[in-house]
Amino acid sequence: MQKILIKGGHVIDLGNGRDTKADLLVEGNRIAAIGDQLTVEGAEVVDAEGCTVSPGFVDLHVHLREPGFEYKEDIFTGTRAAARGGFTSIVCMPNTEPVIDDETGVRFVRDKAGQHGAVRVYPAGAVTKGQKGEEIAEIGLMHEAGAKMFSDDGLPVVSARVMSTALTYSKMFGVPISTHEEDPTLAGDGAVNFGRISTLMGLPGMPEEAETVMIARDLELCRRVGGHLHIGHVSTARSVALIAGAKEDGVNVTCEVTPHHLTLTEDLVRESDYDTNTKMKPPLRTESDRRALVTALREGIIDAVATDHAPHSFDDKDREYIFADNGIVGLETAFALLHDRLVLPGDLPLHRLIEALTAAPARILGVDAGTLREGALADIAILRTDQEWAVNPGDFASKGRNTPLVGWSLTGKVETVLVDGKIVMRGGELL
Candidates 59, 183, 308, 340; catalytic one: 308
Known catalytic membership, residue 340 = no
**Secondary structure class of 408 (helix, strand, coil):** coil
User: Where do runs of H (alpha helix) occur along 75-208?
Assistant: 75-84, 103-116, 139-144, 160-173, 184-187, 196-201
CA 74 to chain centre: 17
Is 326 a binding residue for ligand DOR by CB under 6 A? The answer is yes
Residues 254-283 that bind ligand DOR (CB under 6 A): 280-281
Of the candidates 13, 153, 303, 379, which one interacts with ligand DOR according to CB under 6 A?
153
Q: In angstroms, what is the minimal distance from the CB of 55 to Zn ion? A: 25
Residue 105 or 154 with smaller CB distance to ligand DOR: 154
- If DSSP codes are grouped into helix, strand and coil, which group holds residue 101? coil
| Signed CA dihedral, 266, 267, 270, 275: sign only | negative
Please tell me whether residue 138 binds Zn ion under the rule CB under 5 A.
Answer: no
Q: By CB under 6 A, is residue 154 in contact with ligand DOR?
A: yes
**Using rule CB under 5 A, residue 180 touches Zn ion:** yes
Choose the one of Zn ion, ligand DOR, none that binds residue 310, judging by a C-beta under 5 to 8 angstroms depending on kind: ligand DOR
Task: Name the residue nearer to Zn ion (CB basis): 181 or 379.
Answer: 181
Residues with Cβ within 8 Å of residue 190, at least 6 apart in sequence: 198, 204, 205, 206, 207, 210, 283
Shortest distance (Å) from residue 326 CB to ligand DOR? 4
C-beta of 269: minimal distance to Zn ion in Å?
A: 19
Rounded CA separation 77/70 (Å): 10
What is the sign of the dihedral through the CA atoms of 92, 96, 98 and 99? positive
Stretch that binds Zn ion, among 52-60, 153-161, 254-262, 263-271 (CB under 5 A): 153-161
Beta carbon nearer to ligand DOR, 24 or 329:
329
Considering the rule CB under 6 A, would residue 63 count as an interface residue with ligand DOR? yes
Cα–Cα dist 284/266, whole Å: 5
| Least CB distance to ligand DOR at residue 183 (A) | 14
Amino acid at 31: I
Query: If contact means CB under 5 to 8 A according to the sort of partner, which of Zn ion, ligand DOR, none does residue 63 touch?
Result: ligand DOR
Q: 132: Cβ–Cβ under 8 A, 6 or more apart, which residues?
A: none
> Smallest distance, Å, CB 148 to Zn ion?
18
Instruction: Rule CB under 6 A: say whether 327 interacts with ligand DOR.
Output: yes
SS3 341: helix
Phi-psi region of 278 (alpha: psi -120 to 50; beta: other; left: phi over 0): alpha
Residues catalogued as catalytic: 308
The footprint of Zn ion (CB under 5 A) covers 153, 180
The footprint of ligand DOR (CB under 6 A) covers 63, 95, 153-154, 180, 280-281, 308, 310, 326-327
